[in-house]
Chain A
Amino acid sequence: MGNLQTAVPYSVESTFPASAEPIFKKLTKKSLSEWSGCQVDSLPTEDIPGTTLQIPKHAIATPLKRIKGDFRLLQMWEGRVISIDIDNNEFTAVISDKTNPDLPDEQVTLSIEDVPKNDLQLLNKGAVFYWSIGYADYPGRPRTRESRIRFRRLPKWTHRELVKAREKGAELAKIFSSH
């Protein structure tokens, strides 16, 4: 096929992700010089007009590089929690195999210990989670087989959305009751 090159010009309007363009080419010289040496210590937030998000100074940090590694997926399921048994430190869920969608859903019981600490607050009846099993390869470590659970994070319903949903529900109820 030949050497690696891109004959098709990169288009900003495209929703293709491929952008090998160096990051600083995207900035004008003027904006770079204005920004040079600046520190950002607060950021405006769009969701709460008039407020700012406080963040540490030196927002443009040069942290230590994390250890790079790869996770080779073997199997993945999407699950929905149907019950939680605190006494026995476990929860029950219905899981769908995302690696092989032809397989039927299964009911499983998992240990709460398997849930990452940061996701424990999300462990509720009806919560959706992603469960994956695969090989983890990290430099300097032998290959390990890992099981990972990550709970779905979606924004909480706003008051406006709840009102809208109730209105829609009432509208549908009216339609169905008239038939």
Chain B
Amino acid sequence: MVNPEFVDQEASVVLVGSFNPKIFHPQWFARHEIVPEVDLDGADVEIIHPEIAKFTFPWVSIEVLQNRFTARTRDVAHYSPLRDLVISTFSLLAHSPVRQLGMNLTMIHTAKDEDSWHKIGDTLAPKTVWEKSLPERIGLLSMRVQSPRTDELPGKITVSVESRPEYGVSISFNSHVDLGEDDSLYDILSEYWEKAIDQGKTICETTIREALK
């Protein structure tokens, strides 16, 4: 069984809740030793504002809205430090209400040619119905499927597939958790982050492999 090749990937943690974006600044992270001082050298601040904060360290980008926190990295070697950064941040900001958690993985596959590219779309979304009414070659742009979680956490698993330029296919996996008042973000991320990434990787690989059979 050969696994399909992926040309790029990104992991992210998304939190939905209530946040104060102007708190989030690269120096705040360094001051609290969430990141080493050396990361400040490569920090790139796009905006810090009461409604939004957006900046990057060399290995992670952070965006905070008043109702949404996102930390993401494309560096596979930093998936665990990404989790640690979120755990540390919200251990310090323990009073920030967080209602939902998303543990996400996006993997990008490039098909070897146009036929393989269409095969993926046609297998995932057969065009029989559409061919009766649409005149030309029908292509899948995006689709999203959902499934309940199988562990004890409340939430769902969502997978989305999107076409990309140059015969690319992006598969995004979202492990969504609804958090109760007594739930600990620290505990959930510590226990489920690696499982979510492994599950996401398996789903992305299986989807492409099966679609190309």
Contacts and interface: CB of A to CB of B under 8 A. Distances in A.
A3 B137 CA distance: 12
B210 interface: no
Given A16-B158, A155-B92, A1 B163 contact: yes
Range, interface on chain B: 35 or more
Interface in B110-144: 117-118, 120-121, 139-142, 144
A105 to B, nearest CB: 16
Contacts of B72: 17
Nearest to A62: B45
Contacts of A35: 49-50
Interface residue SS majority, chain A:
loop
A46 B23 contact: yes
A76 B52 contact: no
Nearest to B12: A17
Interface in A72-113: 73, 76, 78, 98
A174 interface: no
Contacts, number: 181
A154 B90 CA distance: 11
Given A17-B104, A66-B58, A59 B48 contact: yes
A15 B100 contact: yes
Nearest to A15: B102
B58 A26 contact: no
Given A2-B141, A47-B93, A53 B27 contact: yes
A76 B197 CA distance: 15
Interface of A: 1-8, 12-19, 23, 26-28, 31, 35, 40, 43-47, 53, 55, 59-61, 63, 65-66, 71, 73, 76, 78, 98, 116-119, 130, 132, 134, 148, 150, 152-155
The 4 closest A-B pairs by CB, nearest first: A15-B102, A2-B139, A118-B36, A1-B163
16 contacts: A1-B120, A1-B169, A2-B140, A15-B100, A15-B104, A17-B102, A23-B47, A43-B22, A43-B28, A45-B28, A60-B47, A61-B45, A71-B76, A73-B75, A130-B77, A155-B91
